[in-house]
Amino acid sequence: MCHRTIDLAFDGAIATLTLNRPEVMNGLTGDMRREIMAAVAAAAGTARVLVLTGAGRAFCSGQDLRDVPEDEPIPFERLLREEYEPMLRAIYDCPIPTIAAVNGAAAGAGANLALAADVVIAAQSAVFIQAFARIGLVPDAGGTYWLPRQVGFARAMGAALFAEKITADEAAAWGMIWQSVPDADFAATVAARAAQLAEGPTVAYRLTKQALRASFANDLDRQLALEARSQGEAGESRDFREGVAAFLEKRPARYEGR
């Protein structure tokens, strides 16, 4: 399935969404945001894991400032509420596991687009930049939500105010991302991780994502109750029955749940 600004490809149970404007480091446009939402929905209905990556030397440079009105103030509030929020929610709420495979620079909204995924794997040469302060803006696209939860308040504030490059190794050490991988091993690592998730218990993955994210807003009692409900649903799934059978029979599990 091909689009003007993205590519969506399926390889068995793995869907790969590639931001495909390499000539501008995959800067985001209105068309691109709409196509990303449609592609995520298509992947969620067909695949068991979704990989997001970028074409060329960058993952995503953030908002393409040429894709805005030239002779009037940029309507940032409308842009964020009507275009960015639905795109980010589509990725964040995707029922299948999502991997951001950050192949190069992820800057501004592009950095936070990556952080919307469940797991971020970055090539060692990649960098993350909360570049907003460089042009007099506030971190957006979820940056003020994800960063302090992932790296802590002090590092989030420094990243936002200084707008300096954060290397993939630093991002991994800080807990911003899951893994920094040598460039030579990047493609193989992403493929292996995607295959691992594609072969896993999809129902349990969906419930795990929901429970972990709810924990930031819940007190202990509400979280324990959510765990119990989630485990009740997981325990009634075909995935659980298959997992137990595979364990007892000492064979790999063959999960098919959705």
71: pLDDT strictly greater than 90: no
Domain residue ranges of the chain, discontinuous segments joined by +: 6-198, 202-249
Neighbours of 212 (CB within 10 A): 11
Least confident of 24-38, 44-58, 59-73: 59-73
Q: Is the domain defined by 202-249 classed in CATH 3.30.9.100?
A: no
What value does the mean pLDDT take over residues 131-151? 96
Q: From 172, 240, 246, 253, select the one nearest 205 (Cα to Cα).
A: 240
Fold exhibited by the domain 6-198? 2-enoyl-CoA Hydratase; Chain A, domain 1 (3.90.226)
Q: Is the pLDDT at 91 greater than 90, yes or no?
A: yes
- The b/e string for 147-173 (b: 16+ C-beta within 10 A; e otherwise) is bbebbeeebbeebbeebeebebebbbe
- How does the average pLDDT of the chain come out, rounded? 94
Q: Answer yes or no: is pLDDT of 152 > 80.
A: yes
CA–CA distance, 86 with 68 (Å, rounded to integer): 18
Q: What pLDDT does residue 67 have? A: 80
